């Protein structure tokens, strides 16, 4: 059974068939889904989705793209939402210096304040980091947060190992199957399988052989297959260990 640790089924790309797709996931060996918030609306929608489907869980937080829209009262709302029984993480939060949709100083402020929230709860954090690897790492290290996952990991092997030492996990998705993924292949080859969480980032980042189509959790099988090839172990073992790791990480029995 697969555990989808990062998806966005609240996205408008699923408006036409969301219910049908979600209900059909168990037929494709997907037993758990964490729907990840990117702003206040999608975080609220993720909670409502988690309340509707027993196998769906929510993460709440504000993505760096949306940092410019954060209001001071939103932090209190996020703290409140983190008490919900189906909310399993804070995120995705972090820095994105590739698109810079929000000013960098605003991204830093919002990221720091959300990390502060996570210092006071037992739930993990889901990190977004793009073209800001060292600064994201430094801000996390300077905080008291010691449980999280770096979503769609794109950094070096050395940094991945430092994250793992710090109590973090490495999120691996469809990019692993791309032709130009040599750096990520090296990371996956050289970190413990027990430190990996599998994800699709649906509807984005579809893996080969379905790259270019709308992504969904049925495609976790391609990521598991690639990990098994890299590590030269059975797909069933990858599936089993990543499932156990994700359930423990999100405190789901």
Residue 132 has pLDDT above 90, yes or no: yes
Helices marked H in 15-86: 18-24, 40-52, 72-81
How high is the pLDDT of residue 120?
85
**DSSP 8-class letter at 125:** E
Q: Give Cα separations from 8 to 11, 43, 106, 201 (angstroms).
A: 6, 10, 24, 7
The predicted model gives 100-125 an average pLDDT of: 96
173: nearest Cα among 215, 235, 231, 124: 215
DSSP single-letter state for residue 114: H
Percent over 90 (pLDDT), the chain: 98
Q: Is the pLDDT score of 253 beyond 90?
A: no
Strand intervals (E) in the chain: 2-7, 30-36, 56-60, 87-96, 125-130, 148-150, 168-172, 196-198
pTM over 0.95? The answer is yes
The 10 Å Cβ neighbour count of residue 253 is 4
Query: CA 136 → CA 8, 107, 186, distances in Å?
Result: 22, 11, 21
Question: With 90 as the cut, is the pLDDT of residue 214 above it?
Answer: yes
Which residue in this structure is represented by tokens 């090296």? 186
In the chain, the domains with their CATH numbers are 2-249 (3.20.20.140)
pLDDT tens figures, 190-212: 999 999 999 999 999 999 999 99
Contact 196, 231 (CB under 8 A): no
Burial profile 159-189: b = 16 or more Cβ within 10 angstroms, e = fewer? bbbebbeeebbbbbbbbbbeeebeebbebbe
Q: What's the pLDDT at 76? A: 98
pLDDT one-digit tens code per residue, 37-94: 999 999 999 999 999 999 999 999 999 999 999 999 999 999 999 999 999 999 999 9
Question: What is the distance between the alpha carbons of residues 231 and 193, in angstroms, rounded to a whole number?
Answer: 8
Span 137-145, average pLDDT: 97
Structure tokens at 125: 């954090």
Mean pLDDT of the chain: 98
On the question of pLDDT at 131 being above 90, the answer is yes
- Residue 227, H or E segment: helix 220-231
């Amino acid at each position: 059974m697969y555990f989808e640790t990062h998806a966005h089924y609240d996205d408008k790309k699923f408006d036409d068939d969301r219910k049908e797709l979600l209900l059909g996931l168990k037929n494709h060996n997907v037993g758990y889904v964490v729907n990840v918030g990117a702003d206040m609306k999608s975080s609220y929608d993720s909670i409502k989705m988690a309340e509707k489907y027993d196998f769906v869980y929510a993460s709440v937080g504000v993505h760096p793209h949306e940092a410019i829209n954060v209001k001071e009262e939103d932090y209190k709302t996020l703290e409140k939402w983190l008490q919900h029984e189906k909310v399993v993480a804070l995120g995705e939060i972090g820095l994105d210096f590739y698109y810079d949709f929000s000013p960098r100083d605003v991204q830093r402020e919002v990221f720091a304040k959300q990390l502060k929230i996570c210092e006071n709860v037992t739930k993990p954090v889901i990190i977004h980091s793009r073209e800001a690897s060292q600064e994201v790492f430094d801000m996390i290290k300077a905080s008291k947060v010691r449980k999280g996952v770096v979503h769609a990991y794109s950094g070096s092997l050395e940094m991945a190992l430092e994250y793992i030492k710090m109590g973090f996990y490495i999120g691996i998705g469809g990019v692993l199957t791309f032709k130009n993924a040599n750096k990520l292949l090296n990371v996956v080859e050289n970190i413990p399988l027990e430190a990996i969480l599998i994800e699709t980032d649906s509807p984005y980042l579809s893996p080969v052989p379905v790259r270019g189509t709308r992504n969904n959790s049925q495609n976790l099988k391609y990521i598991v297959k690639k990990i098994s090839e890299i590590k030269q172990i059975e797909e069933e073992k990858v599936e089993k260990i990543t499932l156990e790791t994700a359930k423990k990480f999100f405190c789901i029995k």
